[in-house]
């Protein structure tokens, strides 16, 4: 509803309307704005915002016009998020483990012992004394700060990364760096084929990509892709709308996936089941058929790629005596050879693009760098960037373009991302000492450890050749943990529990709104707030709609909870650096001055607070094409001058990527130089069934004893571990299965032939 309608609702019903932007991406960018209705200090409902008087984007293709409904498209967990605010699992007060004291720490009882309520004054006093003790005895690099991941994202009050900033000002810390867990294959693999540096972690930018897809694409291949499930936590239900565009445009959707997921069931014209983690073999067989039948773009490979002849020898069996035929791939993938041949021939004949939303288990499983590289190579074999032949991953619309957005937006709006410099989300490893998240247990239990590359998604391809060690010389090891991302034990295994109980860890602080996961493994627990409990400023930068909202406090804080920013300020003040963390509104006002609402539209801070929500107009189709033309006139063929990668395809010399040669490197120059004999990530991608570091394979001898392979999909009815306590969600038949004991269990999907 409009601001005027909101005021009318408030007058007639004693209902307060607040605007929130709720996404679970974890940083200061979020999904489309939503309304929170409040009465008598109680959340009544969360509902969509209807955009009135706003010019929405339009994409014109095939004599049709594509856009979205004139309202926000909220994630179902967002609609039910009041149940998280009022969850019985809320941490209401500061808590101390009953058998912890500075004199007798009892680390072996973490996760077992109960807690007792203490005051904020006592909690802060204990924490400050422990920080000072650690600093004096070991130095502050002995403090591991875990503050990343996907959680409710605010700008000032609930940002991930604020505690990295706190310890930076205190004088030092060890940063837990989030590994590229959503992009493993692209980051460690595809980067070595096509570059794509920056925060996209080896995935290509999506400038104006729907202009080409909707006009020219005939077949779209979903590979490890479920936009009906994975997109909503970041950007709402726009993924389903986009899939409807494809159908309206007459694009055939072929889905390759081990499971008939929600997007497959709803949108696919053809589902091709595949054994998990065998996509590399499928791509090799497709390449084999194209080479054998001569149905690939030879000229493009000559001008835009390096290493194809070596790859060709491997595919045809000249190198190892094993031709990578469809029949060979059938035994590995479970896909009949006739289906592989049909897919390859359709792909060659029809203008075909590939669609991912990060890539699912294919990109996160063992040796995922191989299918990632091979996916880029088969795209190259048909002329990557040729009209209708793109790589689509723009299912959340903003933030994925280089110069312009995937859908019509003004560059001065879509390109104006105002970040909170105090929120040091670990997309870059800007700390003196780091430990990748997946190596934290070994860093505590089995030091020293070594590895290559920080793993931070913003780090470069070249960084993957740099060796790291923990602890570095002179480092005392990890002695204290500050945990503001309490979901590790739901993602990995028991080793982290052993690490938390290690006698080497003298003190653990957890900050969380909920008493769940490894929050209970702390010595002191501080109660954090949900987004409903404080003022904040939020930018909807992961949606097709550009909006900025003054997210006023909807309800009074639950219990004695405080925002993460308030908690950091309390510690800072006690440690004598309170000036580094000014009052929240002062910061909001300072950062607002840099937003498009102020810079482009000239809306003052006072007017912004009064209006609460500002939604930007989108350019007309004619303006949108003019924007692209101006980029070409000023900068030549580059991102934004053409949709997707068409600019690269049109470069006569085929040189413009962030690789050593500037071309698509089928054989990686960097890997050949630094790791020429690596059997598990060779310079040229191959089919690797298993190896020294990964035995989770149906082709390993262990599979004779353990013939089933477990694949953990992104869940439909929760976001990672979040939302599992929402009782409304549990009522959905596919969300949980009620056992004979009345407990709601997580369902396991199994094929009838195995069941």
Q: Residues 409, 619: contact at Cβ < 8 Å?
A: yes
Query: Residue 430's CB: how many other CB atoms inside 10 A?
Result: 15
The reply to whether 111-178+426-528 shares the fold of 1-80+529-562+582-619 is no
Q: What is the mean pLDDT of residues 226-243?
A: 91
CATH topology for 1-80+529-562+582-619 is N-terminal domain of TfIIb (2.20.25)
Q: What is the mean pLDDT of residues 216-237?
A: 92
Reported confidence tier of residue 169, pLDDT bands at 50, 70, 90: very high
Lowest mean pLDDT among 17-26, 420-429, 519-528: 420-429
Q: Say whether 742 sits in a helix, a strand or coil.
A: coil
Q: Say whether 653 sits in a helix, a strand or coil.
A: coil
What is the predicted pLDDT for the residue at 482?
A: 98
User: In angstroms, what CA-CA distances link 126 with 425, 434, 520, 590, 645?
Assistant: 26, 26, 18, 33, 55
Closest CA to 277 of 714, 690, 707: 690
What is the predicted pLDDT for the residue at 29?
A: 61
Secondary structure (H, E, C), 42-90: EEEEEEECECCCCCCCCEEECCEEECCCCECCCCHHHHCCHHHHCCCCE
Of the candidate CATH numbers 3.40.50.740, 1.20.1440.230, 3.10.20.30, 3.40.50.720, the domain formed by 111-178+426-528 belongs to: 3.40.50.740
Convert the pLDDT of each residue in 148-157 to its tens digit: 877 777 788 8
The DSSP call for residue 640 is T
Query: Residue 399's CB: how many other CB atoms inside 10 A?
Result: 21
Reported confidence tier of residue 171, pLDDT bands at 50, 70, 90: very high
Convert the pLDDT of each residue in 717-743 to its tens digit: 988 888 888 999 988 988 999 899 998
Q: What is the mean pLDDT of residues 657-670?
A: 98
Convert the pLDDT of each residue in 8-52 to its tens digit: 566 667 899 999 887 777 665 667 889 999 999 999 999 999 999
Strands 352-355 and 219-223: parallel
Residue 303's Cα: distance from chain center in Å? 34
Q: What is the mean pLDDT of residues 540-562?
A: 92
> The tokens of 255 are what?
């889905």
Q: Report CA Rg, the chain.
A: 26
Closest CA to 192 of 679, 675, 691: 675
Residue 415's Cα: distance from chain center in Å? 19
Residue 707 and residue 364: Cα distance in Å, rounded?
21
Q: What pTM, to 2 d.p., does this model score?
A: 0.95
Q: Residues 75, 237: contact at Cβ < 8 Å?
A: yes
Closest CA to 146 of 488, 572, 448, 471: 488
Q: Token match 């929600």: residue?
A: 262
Confidence check: pLDDT of 63 > 80: yes
Residue 135 and residue 137: Cα distance in Å, rounded?
6
Q: Does domain 204-410+638-669 have CATH number 3.40.228.10?
A: yes
Residue 691 and residue 270: Cα distance in Å, rounded?
33
Reported confidence tier of residue 681, pLDDT bands at 50, 70, 90: very high
The DSSP call for residue 488 is G
Largest pairwise CA distance in the chain: 79
Residue 397 and residue 262: Cα distance in Å, rounded?
21
* Entry field: residues in the chain: 755
Cα angle value 692/697/700 (rounded, 5°): 65
What is the predicted pLDDT for the residue at 396?
A: 75
Residue 231 and residue 223: Cα distance in Å, rounded?
15
Residue 259's Cα: distance from chain center in Å? 22
Q: Token match 């896909």: residue?
A: 335
User: In angstroms, what CA-CA distances link 20 with 76, 513, 561?
Assistant: 15, 18, 19
Convert the pLDDT of each residue in 273-324 to its tens digit: 999 999 999 999 999 999 999 999 999 999 999 999 999 999 999 999 999 9
Between 736 and 418, name the one with better pLDDT: 736
What is the predicted pLDDT for the residue at 151?
A: 76
Return the domain boundaries, the chain. Answer: 1-80+529-562+582-619, 111-178+426-528, 204-410+638-669
Mean per-residue pLDDT over the chain, rounded: 93
Closest CA to 540 of 421, 647, 418: 418
Task: Locate all alpha helices (DSSP H) within 425-522, ordered by sequence.
Answer: 440-445, 495-500
What is the predicted pLDDT for the residue at 7?
A: 61
């Amino acid at each position: 509803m409009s601001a005027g309608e909101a005021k009318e609702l408030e007058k007639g019903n004693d209902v307060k309307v607040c605007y929130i932007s709720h996404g679970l991406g974890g940083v200061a960018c979020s999904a489309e704005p939503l309304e929170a209705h409040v009465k008598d200090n109680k959340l009544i409902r969360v509902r969509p915002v209807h955009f009135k008087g706003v010019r929405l984007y339009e994409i014109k293709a095939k004599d049709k016009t594509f856009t979205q409904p004139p309202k926000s498209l909220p994630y179902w967990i967002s609609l039910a998020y009041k149940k998280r605010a009022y969850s019985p699992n809320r941490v209401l007060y500061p808590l101390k483990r009953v058998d912890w004291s500075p004199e007798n720490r009892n680390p072996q009882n973490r996760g077992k012992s109960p807690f007792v309520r203490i005051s904020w004054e006592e909690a802060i006093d204990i924490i400050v004394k422990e920080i000072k003790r650690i600093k004096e005895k070991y130095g502050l690099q002995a403090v591991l700060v875990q503050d990343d991941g996907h959680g409710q994202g605010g700008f000032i009050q609930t940002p991930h990364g604020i505690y990295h900033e706190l310890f930076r000002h205190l004088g030092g810390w060890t940063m837990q760096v989030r590994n590229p867990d959503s992009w493993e294959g692209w980051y460690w693999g595809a980067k070595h084929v096509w570059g794509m540096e920056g925060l996209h972690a080896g995935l290509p930018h999506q400038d104006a990509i729907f202009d080409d897809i909707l006009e020219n694409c005939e077949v779209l291949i979903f590979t490890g892709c479920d936009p009906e499930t994975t997109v909503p936590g970041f950007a709402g239900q726009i993924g389903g709308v986009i899939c409807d565009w494809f159908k309206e445009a007459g694009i055939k959707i072929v889905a390759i996936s081990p499971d008939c997921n929600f997007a497959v069931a709803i949108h696919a014209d053809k589902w091709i089941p595949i054994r998990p983690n065998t996509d590399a073999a499928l791509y090799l067989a497709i390449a084999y058929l194209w080479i054998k039948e001569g149905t690939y773009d030879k000229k493009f490979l000559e001008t835009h790629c390096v290493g194809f002849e070596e790859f060709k020898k491997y595919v045809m069996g000249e190198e190892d005596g094993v031709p990578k035929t469809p029949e060979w791939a059938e035994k590995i993938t479970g896909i009949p050879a006739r289906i592989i041949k049909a897919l390859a021939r359709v792909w060659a004949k029809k203008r075909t693009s590939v669609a991912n939303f990060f890539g699912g288990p294919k990109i996160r499983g063992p040796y995922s760098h191989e299918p990632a590289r091979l996916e880029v190579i088969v795209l190259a074999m048909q002329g990557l960037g040729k009209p209708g032949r793109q790589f689509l991953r723009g299912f959340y619309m903003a933030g994925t373009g280089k110069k312009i957005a995937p859908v019509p937006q003004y560059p001065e709006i879509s390109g104006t991302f105002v970040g909170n410099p105090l929120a040091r989300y670990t997309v870059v490893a800007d700390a003196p000492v780091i430990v990748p998240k997946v190596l934290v247990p070994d860093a505590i239990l089995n030091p020293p450890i070594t590895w290559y590359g920080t793993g931070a998604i913003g780090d470069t391809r070249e960084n993957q050749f740099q060796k790291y060690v923990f602890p570095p010389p002179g480092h005392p090891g990890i002695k204290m943990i500050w945990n503001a991302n309490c979901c590790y034990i739901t993602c990995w295994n028991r080793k982290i529990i052993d690490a938390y109980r290690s006698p080497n860890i003298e003190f653990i602080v957890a900050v969380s709104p909920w008493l769940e996961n490894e929050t209970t493994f702390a010595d002191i627990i501080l109660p954090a707030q949900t987004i409903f409990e404080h003022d904040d400023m939020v930018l909807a930068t992961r949606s097709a709609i550009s909006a900025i909202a003054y997210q006023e406090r909807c309800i009074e804080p639950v219990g004695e909870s405080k925002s993460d920013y308030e908690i950091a300020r309390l510690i800072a003040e006690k440690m004598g650096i309170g000036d580094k963390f000014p009052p929240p509104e002062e910061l909001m006002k300072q950062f607002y001055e840099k937003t498009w609402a102020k810079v482009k539209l000239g809306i003052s801070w006072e007017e912004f607070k009064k209006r609460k929500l500002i939604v930007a107009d989108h350019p007309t189709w004619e303006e949108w094409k003019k924007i692209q033309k101006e980029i070409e006139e000023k900068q030549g063929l580059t991102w934004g001058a053409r949709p997707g990668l068409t600019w690269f395809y049109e470069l006569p010399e085929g040189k413009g990527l962030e690789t050593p040669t500037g071309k698509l490197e089928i054989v990686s120059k960097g890997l050949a130089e630094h790791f020429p004999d690596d059997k598990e990530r060779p310079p040229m991608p191959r089919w690797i069934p298993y190896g020294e570091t990964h035995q989770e394979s149906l082709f390993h001898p262990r599979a004779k004893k353990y013939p089933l392979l477990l694949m953990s999909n992104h869940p439909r009815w929760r976001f990672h571990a979040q939302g599992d306590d929402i009782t409304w969600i549990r009522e959905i038949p596919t969300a949980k299965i009620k056992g004979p004991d009345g407990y709601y269990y997580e369902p396991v999907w199994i094929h009838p032939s195995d069941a």
